[in-house]
Structure 1
Amino acid sequence: MAVPRRLLQSLRRASWSLPLLLALAFAASVGGWLRYSDLQDLEEERLTLIADSLTLEARISDWLNAEHAAVDRLARQLPGQVDDNALLRQVAVTEGLRRLWVSVTVLDDNNRVLAHVPQQTPQAMAPPKERTGVSLDEGGVTAHWSSARPQGGRLVVRFAPSALLRQTLPWWLAQKYDVRLVDALGQRLAQTGDALALPGTQSYRVSVDPAMRETWLELNTRNRHRPWWHTLAAALMGVFILLSALASGMLRRQMREVRRAEGEARTEAAWRRAVEDSLTVGLRGRDLDGRLTHVNRAFCDLVGYGAEELLGQLPPMPYWLPDEMEDSLRRHRRNMAGGAPREGYEARWMHRDGHVLDVMIFEAPLVDSQGQQIGWMGSIVDISARKLDEERERRRTEALAHQARLSTLGEVASALAHQLNQPLAAIAGYNAGAIRSLERAGQADEIVMEALRRLGEQAMEAGRIVQRIRAFLTRRAPQPERCAVPDLVARVLALLKRDLRGVRVEVTMPPDLPEVQADAVLIEQVLINLIRNALDELQHRPDSQLRIAALRVGERFVRVDVDDNGPGLQGRGIDQLTTAFYSTKSDGMGMGLAICRSVIEAHHGGMEAGVGALGGARMSFTLPLCAAGQRNCESDVPGDGLRLTENKERAR
């Protein structure tokens, strides 16, 4: 273990030379890259040279082939007897001489000259033995085409290779390359530029065969390639290495001084960090502008952010709640002004993962060695668990009180329903006696008798309602029967006829709406409650509208909607509206909708609230369908398996 430790210490002491080594490595890598770039440039230049050579060779071959084809056509068109004047009158000859040809000669079968143009060109040339070729003579370098005539003999056309280069060489290739035409022995036939390739340039040779037999096209680059060590980059790299060596020497001296200071500060920093990390209380330091200058591990764990993410942050802080940003900024300005309470204050922060936590913050001034305040030091304690326990205890107390109120209300409602039975029975008895007395006396006024009969019906209906409510409050199942929703709605509207004055009521029911399995009396009470709630919201509206609609939902339910054009629910949901003792009315008990929801759920249905088609509130509930052809049917709706049966005796 001692040897590796000494090795590490030696490496640490020699770390001053690392910049110099890196500079040398960098210079070597740059030199290698430049050398590789030179090779790549040379290869790319050679590939371009080859491509340009092949392109120019193809251009020359196409030109020569076209000219040879013109010679063949001319040979076929010439008459059997031809002289110089007749040959000169040929349009193809005139154009060829103007274009490229040097001379045109007509030979017979014995290779004697029959015609030759132009006259100033020498005729004492040996007849060519091949159809195409290049020859060196006293007049210079010439090339020829030879084509046989149908009448016998041959037509020989000579041209200058230098003129061929002028005709076929593009200007951009002439600027880049020195172009030469050479024979198989390397003798120059035609050229542009210097005769020989310069050092540092590249050349490429391609055969022009068969357009010109034993002739080669050679391209030489004009720009000389300079290696990278002859450029300014090499000099700059040398200066860079020299400066790096000087900087490394200065760094070695500086490191010796810093190492002494580090040894003194390391002990103090380690002691302070150990103390801070052992704390479970979050610590944060801020300067006078509110910028975070110090945080400990407990604070980072508290808010979920790393120290590198928090240090240097200015308000607003990332752990502040977005919806309480104004309050947080106001507290921050108060604290920066020195107004933080000495006993601390509570705040709500947000962890990085999104959950909210409650903290207690204590602030104190941060003073430097000269007695000047340079910021604030805060201690933060997480009190979320304590707050949660307090909230849980409060909810438990409220739940017990709510249960007690519900129990008391159930007893009161049951007793009230029991006590109302006798007065209602007495009203029904007195009403029946009055009707019989009037009939026996023979003074039966039809209007009075109709009113008494209606009075008896309403008393019986009130008795049924009281019996059903009492049965419902004593945890008995509703009395289900086959009900037609339109009939239920019609009876409810008839009962509320007086309350609906001035309100435009619209009833929308499909003609094929199936019947439902429900307790008619309880469902009527639900409808009455919903309609009266809507009427309360429609007060003082000149254009009050109410719509009652029903439609089939799926295969097993019918939904009933009660819409109005009132102010709406203002974001309240069904859970809030049906909470016991919750009411939007100043004189409301908050039990109407809660009981309605209990009735609907006892029928294995559901209740919803939302925005209606009229722009106001919509209250909806669903009821289960009853199978066709059955009067007393068993509910097949998923629930607690309660069998709903009709009790005719109790209905009477």
Structure 2
Amino acid sequence: MAVPRRLLQTLKRASWALPLLLALAFAASVGVWLRLSDIRDLEEERLTLITDALSLEARISDWLNAEHAAVDRLALQLPGQVDDHMLLNHRAVAEGLRRLWVSATVLDANNRVIAHVPQQVPQAAAPSKERSGVSLDEGGLTAHWSAARPQGGRLVVRFAPSALLRQTLPWWLAQKYDVRLVDGLGQRLAQTGDAATLPGTQSYRVSVDPAMRETWLELNTRIPHRPWWYTLAAGLMGVFILLSALASGMLRRQMREVQRAEGEARTEAAWRRAVEDSLTVGLRGRDLDGRLTHVNRAFCDLVGYGAEELLGRLPPMPYWPADEMADSLRRHQRNMAGGAPREGYEARWMHRDGHELDVMIFEAPLVDANGVQIGWMGSIVDISARKQAEERERRRTEALAHQARLSTLGEVASALAHQLNQPLAAIAGYNAGAIRSLERAGQTDEIVMEALRRLGEQAQEAGRIVQRIRAFLTRRAPQPERCAVPDLAARVLALLKRDLRGVQVDVEMPVGLPDVQADAVLIEQVLINLVRNALDELHQCPGARVRIAAQRVGERFVRVDVDDNGPGLQGRGIDQLTTAFYSTKAEGMGMGLAICRSVIEAHHGGMEAGVGALGGARISFTLPLCAGERSCDGAGPGAAASHKEGAR
């Protein structure tokens, strides 16, 4: 592929010579056509010349034969004795002298002159006995006819070939040709026109035998044929080729200038593109109709669309958020009218992958070289990070304020826990004393005794809870112990029995679920918080259901799920739900789930949130297995012990 590409580049560089080559080819074709035309014209001219020569030769031969016949008749008509006067007055002689003859001579048998007209001295040399011939007379070259007389002797009639030509040559041939009569040696006997033969003329010679022995009729064209390269066409073609060469030279110079300008333009465009691509600021160009005409790489990266997808697009743009389409279109119309703020304005855009981003847009008029505005150029800066930083700073400030309140709350909770220890100890002591007093008094009412025993248990439980909360708030480590998850769930449901009235509760625990290593009191508080959150979402839902399930996951953990059939989390994740001071309740403090997550992570577990089996929210947490349970394979999620509690 390299050779054809190199050949194409060479042809492209030499394309300036194409007009000159075409001009030369055209001139050559015209030259060939003119040469062929010359050859054709010469051939036609020669054919015409031959035709005219043969026609004139036939005319002259007919004339000569007629004159010769007249001489033969005259020789037969003359008497034996004839003198000059008689010869001159003879009718045939008079007509012949007027027509063509130069002289008429009568010779006897000894070739002596008997009569001669007109009265001129004849040549010393007697004419030959030939029937006809050519001889030199005083008037120039002449030809003669000779006829024998019956009485003996001969009749000799001389005639001038020039007169013969004048008598027989038509005017139109005289204008067209130089006509000559020549003998066998090439000596001219008679001619019309110039004696010299011009170069470039055509000639044709035909014999006049037997009318004139050894005599030829020669026709020469008057107008010499000039080859086409001696004509105006050759000059015009030369001028044409010269102008084509000049135009090709100018075209080559212009092409070099254009190539140099294109090279500079490409270099400048590449430099500008490199500058634009190196910018972190997005650039977009729009015409007066709002159509995108230019974007740089930063702009494409900003919105997630390629340049080929954006160029030529008219509003609405694909990166405008659907819920803010009307506001975006209104801002676009304001900007097209020239009302964009010079200090810029903020807007919210949508990336192709769906996440939103905040941008700052600066608009400026786009003016061409003639000073006419052809559109608008915009600079777009992504301020999402700045916005997020501002939001984080605001939340940090709020968190610090809430942290201060939480510290105060922790101190108050610690003081309350310290203060509640004595009342709870007193309640436990009084309860134990009351039970012993009733037993000594013999009061064995089972209902009262059961109530007092339950009161003592609740007082002890409250004491443990106060002690664990106080330990947690004073940053003491949890006190893990071996716990059975079904027992934890049962105690939580017993404590929340009053709150669970009217709610269907499903507890699904597989048989043989291994025990976990956890602080039972803290895990109970986590379960209580999750169940109460579910109940808060279900207070207006008919057919409210809560599901507590547990199963082993992997080799080291047990996962506990709390599901409900409420409205769900609506896209919120566990990180957002467990953020400090974030709450979906109007009266909530936003600390419940945050504390729960801290408790679970303190147990080396984790929390998750998603869609539950009942169609609502699901909050899950994991707890580590006991050291003795990790070596066991454990029972999978087999047949679950499921029971339902609550009142309808």
8 Å contact 2:20–2:248 — kept in the other structure?
Answer: no
AA paired with 1:467? Q
Name the SS of the counterpart of 1:622 in structure 2. strand
Q: Which residue in the other structure is 2:480 paired with?
A: 480
Is residue 16–residue 249 contact of structure 1 (8 Å, CA) maintained in 2? no
SS in 1 for 2:528: helix
Aligned to 1:521: 521
1:590 Cα deviation from its structure 2 partner: 1.9
Mean Cα deviation higher: 322-331 or 443-452: 322-331
Instruction: For residue 579 of structure 1, report the CA deviation from its aligned partner.
Output: 1.9
Tell me if structure 1 keeps the 8 A contact 2:399–2:581.
no
Aligned to 1:427: 427
The CA deviation string for residues 595-649 of structure 1, in whole angstroms up to 9 with x for no partner, is 22222222222222222222222222222222449xxx99xxxxxxxxxxxxxxx
C-alpha change, 1:361 and 1:19, in structure 2 (3 Å) is farther
SS across alignment from 1:498: coil
Structure 2: which amino acid aligns with 1:343?
A: E
Deviation at 1:268, TM superposition (A): 12
Q: Displacement of 1:392 after TM fit? A: 6.0
2:376 partner SS? strand
Structure 1 counterpart of 2:561? 561
User: C-alpha displacement at 1:503, in angstroms?
Assistant: 1.9
2:564 and 2:615 in contact (8 A); partners too: yes
Distance between the aligned counterparts of 2:20 and 2:322, measured in 1? Answer: 52
Contact preservation (8 Å) 1:284, 1:293: yes
* Residue identity opposite 2:495 in structure 1: L
Alpha-carbon contact 1:277-1:296 (below 8 Å) kept = no
Corresponding residue SS for 1:605:
coil
Q: 1:422 to 1:372 in 2, by over 3 A?
A: same
Match of 1:346 in 2: 346
Q: Counterparts in 2 of 1:189-208, with a 5 A limit?
A: none
What does 1:344-493 correspond to in 2, within 5 Å? 344-347=344-347, 359-366=359-366, 373-380=373-380, 390=390, 393-394=393-394, 396-398=396-398, 400-401=400-401, 403-443=403-443, 445-493=445-493
What percentage of residue pairs aligned between the two structures are identical?
A: 82
Give the whole-Å Cα distance in 1 for the aligned partners of 2:20 and 2:406.
Answer: 86
After superposition, the Cα gap between the structure-2 partners of 1:553 and 1:247, relative to the gap in structure 1 and judged at 3 Å, is farther
Give distance in 1, aligned partners of 2:272 and 2:515: 78
Q: What SS does the corresponding residue of 2:414 show, helix, strand or coil?
A: helix
**Secondary structure of residue in 1 paired with 2:374:** strand
- 2:503 paired with 1:503: yes
Tell me the amino acid that sits aligned with residue 527 of structure 2. Answer: L
- State the distance in 1 between where 2:350 and 2:540 align: 46
Partner of 1:597: 597
Aligned to 2:580: 580
Secondary structure of 2:510 counterpart = coil
Note closer, same or farther for the CA distance 1:480–1:541 as it changes in structure 2 (3 Å cut).
Answer: same
Cα distance in 2, alignment partners of residues 253 and 445 from structure 1: 128
| Local SS of the residue matching 2:540 | coil
Q: Which residue of 1 aligns with 2:49?
A: none
Query: What SS is found at the alignment partner of 1:509?
Result: strand
Q: Which amino acid is the alignment partner of residue 465 of structure 1?
A: I
Structure 2: gaps spanning 5 or more residues: 1-9, 25-242, 632-648
Distance 1:303 1:616 in 2: 35
Partner SS state of residue 333, structure 1:
helix
Where does residue 624 of structure 2 map in the other structure? 624
> CA offsets, 1:145-174, max 9 Å, x none?
xxxxxxxxxxxxxxxxxxxxxxxxxxxxxx
TM-score after normalising by structure 1: 0.50
Q: Per-residue deviation at 1:526?
A: 1.9
In structure 2, do the counterparts of structure 1 residues 582 and 282 end up closer, same or farther at CA, with 3 Å as the change threshold? closer
Please report how far the alpha carbon of residue 248 of structure 1 lies from its aligned counterpart in structure 2 after TM superposition.
10
Letter in 2 for 1:340: A
1:437-460 C-alpha deviation (Å, 9 max, x unpaired): 444444554322322221111111
After superposition, the Cα gap between the structure-2 partners of 1:300 and 1:251, relative to the gap in structure 1 and judged at 3 Å, is farther
Task: State the secondary structure of the residue aligned to 2:580.
Answer: coil
In 2, Cα distance between the equivalents of 1:354 and 1:19?
58
**TM-score, L = length of structure 2:** 0.51
Name 2:612's counterpart in structure 1.
612
- 1:337 Cα deviation from its structure 2 partner: 2.9
Give the equivalent residue in structure 1 for 2:184.
Answer: none
SS at match of 1:412: helix
Specify the alignment match of 1:202 in structure 2: none
Match of 2:569, SS state, is: coil
Tell whether the 8 Å contact from 1:16 to 1:248 is kept in structure 2 after alignment: no
Cα pair distance change 1:258/1:586, threshold 3 Å: same
> How far, CA to CA, are the matches of 1:409 and 1:481 in structure 2?
28
Aligned with 2:623: secondary structure? strand
Q: Aligned equivalents of 2:318 and 2:513: distance in 1?
A: 58
Range with bigger deviation, 369-378 or 305-314: 305-314
Change (3 A) 1:538 1:282: closer
Q: Which residue of 2 aligns with 1:545?
A: 545
Deviations 1:57-111 (A, max 9, x none): xxxxxxxxxxxxxxxxxxxxxxxxxxxxxxxxxxxxxxxxxxxxxxxxxxxxxxx
Judged with a 3 Å threshold, the aligned counterparts in structure 2 of structure 1 residues 585 and 436 are, in CA distance, closer, same or farther, namely: same
Kept in 1, the 8 Å contact 2:399–2:580? The answer is: no
Kindly tell me: are residues 440 and 388 of structure 1, through their superposed partners in 2, closer, same or farther at Cα, counting changes over 3 Å? closer
Change (3 A) 1:415 1:257: same
Task: Note if contact 2:16-2:251 (Cα within 8 Å) is conserved in structure 1.
Answer: no
Local SS of the residue matching 1:489:
helix
CA 1:273–1:621: 2 relative to 1, 3 Å: closer
CA contact (8 A) 1:277 1:298 kept: no
Is 1:331 the counterpart of 2:331 in the alignment? yes
Q: Which amino acid aligns with 2:287?
A: D
Compute the RMSD of aligned alpha carbons: 4.9
2:492 alignment partner AA:
V
The amino acid across from 1:506 in the alignment is D
Distance, in Å, in 2 between the alignment partners of 1:605 and 1:375 is: 60
User: How far apart are 1:465 and its partner, in Å?
Assistant: 0.8
8 Å contact from structure 1 (residues 548, 561) kept in 2: yes
CA 1:502–1:13: 2 relative to 1, 3 Å: closer
Give the letter for the 1:509 counterpart. M
AA partner of residue 608 (structure 1): E
Q: Separation in 2 of the partners of 1:535 and 1:277?
A: 61
The C-alpha deviation readout for 1:387-423, integer Å capped at 9, x for no partner, is 5764564465455445434433333332232222122
8 Å CA contact 1:432–1:456 kept in 2: the answer is yes
Distance 1:258 1:561 in 2: 79
Question: 1:324 and 1:562 mapped to 2: Cα distance?
Answer: 38
Amino acid at match of 1:481: E
Structure 1 residues 485 and 300, CA, compared in 2 at 3 Å: closer, same or farther?
A: closer
How big is the shift at 1:585?
1.9
Give the superposition deviation at 1:466: 0.6
- Partners of 1:589 and 1:23 in 2: CA distance: 94
| Structure 2 residue matching 1:375: 3-state secondary structure | strand
What is the aligned partner in structure 2 of residue 180 from structure 1? none
Compute the displacement of 1:373 (Å): 4.6
The structure having more radius of gyration, on CA atoms, is 2
Spell out, residue by residue over 1:490-513, the C-alpha distance to the aligned partner (whole angstroms, 9 max, x if none): 222222222222222222223322
- In 2, distance between residues paired with 1:449 and 1:308? 85
Name the CA shift for 1:559/1:359 in 2 (closer, same or farther; >3 Å).
closer
Q: Could you tell me which amino acid in structure 2 is paired with residue 601 of structure 1?
A: E
CA contact (8 A) 1:277 1:297 kept: no
In 1, distance between residues paired with 2:566 and 2:297? 56
Flag the 1:417–1:255 CA change in 2: closer, same or farther, 3 A. Answer: farther
Q: Give 1:274-289 correspondences, 5 Å limit.
A: 284-289=284-289
Structure 1 residues 560 and 259, CA, compared in 2 at 3 Å: closer, same or farther? closer
**Are residues 339 and 415 of structure 1, via their aligned partners in 2, closer, same or farther at CA, if it must alter by over 3 Å?**
same
From the superposition, tell whether residues 298 and 15 of structure 1 become closer, same or farther in structure 2 (CA, over 3 Å). farther
Alpha-carbon separation, structure 2, partners of 1:304 and 1:351: 6
Counterpart contact for 2:16–2:255, Cα < 8 Å: no
> Which amino acid letter does the alignment assign opposite residue 626 of structure 2?
C
Report the Cα offset of residue 464 of structure 1. 0.8
Distance change (3 Å), C-alpha of 1:611 and 1:327: same
Distance (Å, rounded) in 2 between the aligned partners of 1:353 and 1:17: 55
